[in-house]
């Protein structure tokens, strides 16, 4: 075991004795002692004030790297200790003085069984927080501690606890009482007439402050990136391969004549690729005034002449406004698409979830394919793994099956904050060498 992972390095000499006892019992995988010591709430997540070691870190770190001398009974005891600590409310994403969560330690030491226990704990926490109208913050502090949670991915951000992901119907979208009954009857009549009935989606009426601020920010297009006035990377050219593979997944064999909806124009990378497939319908939704200005500039490929080049009026169109409003219009007008891609910025996971739960069922053709930029929790592997599972469960709730396609990300120019691709960008929102590309289709 590396010196920095030794018990003497991790449990400091001046650590209060109450905390020291719990950490030592966890380190020695003494489940009986751990149970006895966890007599008050909060003890399972106590931390050495100097090293930030929690009992979960201790129980995992004590296992060290796998070796031939490993005692299988000790690994079992380690798992039981971790399990017991989690039962007593140990926090899965507390970071130590090396900016590692217990799961990060398990991953680094090559202990998948213990890593998986941490992932499962994170999934439970996120699902529970989702039910309680908010998600646990997935970003686990450390180098990005000053940032609000959820900005880890650069595009859609995770829930920051201020949003209500359980969707609240507003007066405008979910009529009540007699009015509602009248509308329901009207919908039934329409269905009986064989017309497509418009079901108003339930939309979250809370104003997302981060998104509103972003939509008011000044943007700069320069050297392969789009950056806001705070230096956040809105879109970056290194993501081109991810966009290419997303197009390949959404339009297998790329036959012409497909109906495409893209949400979030950014640098127009994916729209350029979509346009090359010669679609019969290509709709783009964009809300930022400066992106819209960029789109209508003479140098843009997506200006007036592009719109006029469509096979019929309105077939190629930039919809100006927030998708939350435009999608209602598209539903009302009966638009249906073969491929839908979602990649916004400054919004949290609750918005993405709302999109696929409330809008995809009405907008996607029954044989269509839906994809989104998957940057959820991408500043830390364990967060990425947890959000993969959480979103998979929510997609299933929405009637969607997801196939994850792993893509290699070349990290040469992405390895260090402020350097390479990150030069001039405030925060390194991507840290992983694998991108998990979601390919979603209707279940059954």
Ligand X SMILES: C[S@@+](CC[C@H](N)C(=O)[O-])C[C@H]1O[C@@H](n2cnc3c(N)ncnc32)[C@H](O)[C@@H]1O
- Interface residues with ligand X (CB under 6 A) are 155, 211, 234-235, 243, 263-270, 285-288, 291, 322-324, 343-347
Alpha carbon distance 106, 126 (integer Å):
20
3-class SS letters over 190-244: HHHCCCCCCCCCCCCCCCCHHHHHHHHCCEEEECCEEEECCCCEEEEHHHHHHHH
Which CB atom, from 111 or from 155, has the smaller least distance to ligand X? Answer: 155
> CB–CB of 55/46 below 8 Å?
yes
> CB–CB of 374/390 below 8 Å?
no
Q: What minimum distance in Å lies between the beta carbon of 26 and ligand X?
A: 42
Specify burial of residue 2 (Cβ count, 10 A radius: 0-12, 13-18, 19+).
exposed
Q: What minimum distance in Å lies between the beta carbon of 131 and ligand X?
A: 25
Which CB atom, from 21 or from 217, has the smaller least distance to ligand X? Answer: 217
The pair of structure tokens assigned to 97 is: 């003085």
> CB–CB of 187/197 below 8 Å?
yes
Which CB atom, from 267 or from 425, has the smaller least distance to ligand X? Answer: 267
Give the residue carrying structure tokens 């290194």. Answer: 238
Q: What minimum distance in Å lies between the beta carbon of 336 and ligand X?
A: 20
Residue nearest to ligand X (CB): 266
In the β-sheet with 233-236, what is the strand arrangement from edge to edge? 219-222, 225-228, 233-236
Which CB atom, from 97 or from 248, has the smaller least distance to ligand X? Answer: 248
Q: What minimum distance in Å lies between the beta carbon of 201 and ligand X?
A: 15
Which CB atom, from 78 or from 269, has the smaller least distance to ligand X? Answer: 269
Q: What minimum distance in Å lies between the beta carbon of 189 and ligand X?
A: 33
Alpha carbon distance 309, 278 (integer Å):
11
Which CB atom, from 62 or from 226, has the smaller least distance to ligand X? Answer: 226
Which CB atom, from 27 or from 337, has the smaller least distance to ligand X? Answer: 337
Alpha carbon distance 246, 308 (integer Å):
26
3-state SS, residue 105 = helix
Please compute, for residue 327, the number of CA atoms within 13 A of its CA located in the half-sphere on the CB side.
29
Q: What minimum distance in Å lies between the beta carbon of 329 and ligand X?
A: 13
Q: What minimum distance in Å lies between the beta carbon of 218 and ligand X?
A: 12
Q: What minimum distance in Å lies between the beta carbon of 243 and ligand X?
A: 5
Q: What minimum distance in Å lies between the beta carbon of 439 and ligand X?
A: 16
386: alpha, beta or left, given left = phi > 0 and alpha = psi -120 to 50?
Answer: alpha
Helix (H) or strand (E) holding 87: helix 72-87
Which CB atom, from 97 or from 290, has the smaller least distance to ligand X? Answer: 290
Which CB atom, from 91 or from 295, has the smaller least distance to ligand X? Answer: 295
Alpha carbon distance 220, 81 (integer Å):
51
The pair of structure tokens assigned to 404 is: 């994850």
Neighbours of 197 (CB within 10 A): 14
Alpha carbon distance 34, 89 (integer Å):
13
Which residues, in sequence order, are bridge partners of residue 372? 342
Which CB atom, from 77 or from 234, has the smaller least distance to ligand X? Answer: 234
Q: What minimum distance in Å lies between the beta carbon of 16 and ligand X?
A: 47
Which CB atom, from 95 or from 287, has the smaller least distance to ligand X? Answer: 287
> CB–CB of 259/279 below 8 Å?
yes
Q: What minimum distance in Å lies between the beta carbon of 264 and ligand X?
A: 3
Which CB atom, from 101 or from 211, has the smaller least distance to ligand X? Answer: 211
Q: What minimum distance in Å lies between the beta carbon of 333 and ligand X?
A: 17
> CB–CB of 278/315 below 8 Å?
no
Find all residues with CB under 8 Å of 395, minimum gap 6, and list them: 356, 401, 402, 438, 440
């Amino acid at each position: 075991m590396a010196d920095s992972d030794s018990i003497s390095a991790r449990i400091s000499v001046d650590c209060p004795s109450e905390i020291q006892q719990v950490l030592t019992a966890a380190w020695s995988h003494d489940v009986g002692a751990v149970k006895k010591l966890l007599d008050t709430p909060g003890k399972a997540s106590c931390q050495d004030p100097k090293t930030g070691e929690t009992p979960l870190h201790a129980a995992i770190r004590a296992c060290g790297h796998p070796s031939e001398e490993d005692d299988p009974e000790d690994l079992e005891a380690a798992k039981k200790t971790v399990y017991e600590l989690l039962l007593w409310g140990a926090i899965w994403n507390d970071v130590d003085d090396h900016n590692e969560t217990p799961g990060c330690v398990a991953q680094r030491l090559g202990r998948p069984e213990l890593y998986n226990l941490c992932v499962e704990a994170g999934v439970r926490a996120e699902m529970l927080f989702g039910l309680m109208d908010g998600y646990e913050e997935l970003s686990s502090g450390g180098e990005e501690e000053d940032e609000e949670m959820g900005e880890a991915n650069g595009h859609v951000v995770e829930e920051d606890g201020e949003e209500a992901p359980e969707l609240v119907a507003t007066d405008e979208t979910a009529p009540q009482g007699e009015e509602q009954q009248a509308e329901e009857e009207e919908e039934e009549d329409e269905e009986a007439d064989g017309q497509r009935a418009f079901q108003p989606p339930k939309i979250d009426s809370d104003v997302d402050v981060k998104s509103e601020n972003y939509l008011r920010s000044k943007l700069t297009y320069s050297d392969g990136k789009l950056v806001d006035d705070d230096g956040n990377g809105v879109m970056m050219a290194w993501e081109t391969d991810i966009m290419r593979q997303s197009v390949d997944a959404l339009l297998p064999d790329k036959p012409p004549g497909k109906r495409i909806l893209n949400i979030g124009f950014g640098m127009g990378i994916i729209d350029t690729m979509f346009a090359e497939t010669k679609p019969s319908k290509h709709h783009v939704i964009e809300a930022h005034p400066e992106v819209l200005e960029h789109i209508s500039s003479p140098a843009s490929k997506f200006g007036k002449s592009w719109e006029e080049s469509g096979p019929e009026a309105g077939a190629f169109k930039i919809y100006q406004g927030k998708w939350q409003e435009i999608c209602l219009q598209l539903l009302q007008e009966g638009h249906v698409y073969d491929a839908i891609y979602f990649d916004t910025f400054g919004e949290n996971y609750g918005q993405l979830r709302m999109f696929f739960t409330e809008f995809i069922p009405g907008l996607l053709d029954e044989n269509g394919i839906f994809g989104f930029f998957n940057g959820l929790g991408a500043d830390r592997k364990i967060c990425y793994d947890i959000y993969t599972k959480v979103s998979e469960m929510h997609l299933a709730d929405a009637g969607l099956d997801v196939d994850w396609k792993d893509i290699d990300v070349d990290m040469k120019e992405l390895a260090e904050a402020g350097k390479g691709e990150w030069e001039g960008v405030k925060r390194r929102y991507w840290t992983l060498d694998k991108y998990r590309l979601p390919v979603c289709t209707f279940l059954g």
